[in-house]
Structure 1
Amino acid sequence: MKVLVTLISLIALLLVVLPGPLYKFGIVDLGTAFAGFKFGVYAGIAALVLLLLQFLLKRDTMTLGSSAIVVVFSVFSIAMPLSMMNTAKSVPPIHDISTDLVNPPEFVAIAPLRANAPNPVEYAGEASAEQQRQAYPELKTLNYSQPKAELVSAVEQAAKNLGWELINADASNGIIEATHTSTWFGFEDDVIVRVNDQGNERLVDIRSKSRIGGSDLGKNAARIHTLIEELDTVLAE
C-alpha cells in the first residue's frame, strides 16, 4: 500500500507541475492544461485519504520518509491550484490594464505580433476600465521632469533589467514596446509605454495586456507596478 500511496501522490504532483511546460511547448492545449490542475487536486486528496487509511489499518507498513513525501507532494498538488483559484476570485476578470483609461496607449510594432492572439490588440473597453478603477485605483498617469529621450532610454533599460523582450523603442514619438513571457506556461503579455510632453513635465502612461485568457490573475497590474519601481530605480542611478 505504501508504494500505491506514494505513486498516487507523485501523479498528483505531476498533474499540477507538468501542464505548464506541456502547454508552453505546444503539446497540450490550455483547456487540457487546466484540467490537469483539477485532477491533480483530486489525486492529492486521494493520496492523503489513502495515507490516513494506511495509518489506521496498516501502520506497520509506513515509514517516516515515504509518509513525508506523500504529504509534501499531496499538499502542494492541492494548495497550488486552490491558491490560483482564490487569486482569480480576488481580482476582476480582466486582462488589459492601463494607467490612462480614457486614451490608452496603442500598440504599434506589437500589433502584428498579436494578429492571431485570442485577445485582440484593441483596448478592452469601458467595462474593463470600470473594473480596473475599482480594483486598481492607484494606477494613474505618471509625471516626470526628465527629458523625453532620457525617459525613453530609462524605460528601455528598466525593461531589459526585468528580462522583457524589447520590441520597439521610438524616442521621437516617446513609445517603448516590450513583451514579457512567463517562465512556467510561456504566456506572452505585451507592454507599451507612452511618454508625452506637457509643458515642463513628461506624462508617462503604461499599458499591459495579455494575449490569452479572460482573467490575468492580477499579473498585468503587478507588472505595471514592477516597471514603475524599476524605472524609478534606473532614474535614480
Structure 2
Amino acid sequence: MKILVSLVSLIAFLLVALPGPLYKFGILDLGTAFAGFKFGMFAGIAALILLGIQVFFKRDTVRLSSALTAVVLAAVAIITPLSMMNTAKSVPPIHDISTDLINPPEFVAIAPLRADAPNPVEYAGEETAEQQRKAYPELQTLTYTQSKSELIKATEQAADNLGWELISTDTSAGIVEATDTTMWFGFKDDVVIRVTDEGSERLVDIRSKSRVGGSDLGTNAERIRSFIEELDDVLSD
C-alpha cells in the first residue's frame, strides 16, 4: 500500500508539473497539456484517499516521511488546478489589455510574428473594453513630464529589466514593441508602448496581448502594472 500511495501521488504531481514544459518545447498540444491538470487533480485526490485507507487499516505500514511526501505531492496536484480555476473565475475571460481603450496602441513590427497566432493582432473590440473597464479600472493612460526620447529610453530599460525581448523601437513615432515569454508554459505575450506629446506633457499607453488562449488569467493586466512600476523606478533613478 505504501508503494501504491507514493506512486499515485508522484504521478499526480507529474501530471500537473510536466504539461507546461512539455507544451513549451512542442511535445504536447495545449489541449492535452490542460487535460493533464484535470487528471493530475483526480490522481491527487486518489492518493489522499489511498493514504487515508492506509492510515486507518494498515497503520503499521505508514512511515511519516513517505506519508508527508505523498501529502505534499498530492496537495500540489490538487491546489494548482483549483487555484487556476479560481483565478479564471475572478477575472474576465479576455486576453487583450490596454490603458487606452478608445485608441489602443497598434502592433506594427510584431504583427508578422503573430501571423499564425490564434489571437489576431487587431484589438479585441468594445466588448473586451467594457469587461476591462469593470475589472481593471485603474489601468489608464499615464502622464509624464519627461521628453519623448527620455521616456523611450526608460521604456527600453524597463522592458529589459523585466526580461522582455525587445522587438522594435521607433523613437520618432514614440513606439516600443516587445515580447514577454512566460516561464512555465512558454506562452508568448506581446507588448506595445506608445509615447505621444500632449502640450508640455507626454502620454504613455501600454497594451499587452496574448497570442493564444481565450482568458489570460489576469496575466496581461499584471504585466502592465509591473511595467508601470518598473518604468517609474527607472525614471526615478
**Length-normalised TM-score, structure 1:** 1.00
- SS of the equivalent of 1:192 reads strand
**Match of 2:34?**
34
1:137 matched to 2:137: yes
For 2:224 and 2:61, how far apart are their aligned partners in 1? 53
Deviation at 1:106, TM superposition (A): 0.3
Residue by residue over 1:101-127, the C-alpha shift from the partner in whole angstroms, topping out at 9 and shown as x without a partner, is: 000000010000000000000000000
Could you say what the CA RMSD is over the residues aligned between the two structures, in angstroms? 0.4
For 1:39 and 1:211, how far apart are their aligned partners in 2? 26
**Match of 2:56?**
56
**Match of 2:199?**
199
Deviation at 1:83, TM superposition (A): 0.2
For 2:183 and 2:221, how far apart are their aligned partners in 1? 18
Letter in 2 for 1:105: P
**Match of 2:120?**
120
- SS of the equivalent of 2:196 reads strand
Moved segments of 4+, more than 2 Å: none
Letter in 1 for 2:80: M
| Equivalence map 1:56-135=2 (5 Å) | 56-135=56-135
Letter in 2 for 1:97: I
Deviation at 1:82, TM superposition (A): 0.3
For 1:161 and 1:184, how far apart are their aligned partners in 2? 19
**Match of 1:185?**
185
Deviation at 1:4, TM superposition (A): 0.6
**Match of 1:176?**
176
For 2:25 and 2:7, how far apart are their aligned partners in 1? 26
Residue by residue over 1:201-228, the C-alpha shift from the partner in whole angstroms, topping out at 9 and shown as x without a partner, is: 0010000000000000000000000000
For 1:204 and 1:67, how far apart are their aligned partners in 2? 54
Q: How many aligned residue pairs are there?
A: 237
**Contiguous gaps of at least 5 residues in structure 1:** none
Residue by residue over 1:185-209, the C-alpha shift from the partner in whole angstroms, topping out at 9 and shown as x without a partner, is: 0000000000000110001000000
- SS of the equivalent of 1:48 reads helix
**Contiguous gaps of at least 5 residues in structure 2:** none
Letter in 2 for 1:200: S
For 1:11 and 1:219, how far apart are their aligned partners in 2? 28
For 2:173 and 2:212, how far apart are their aligned partners in 1? 28
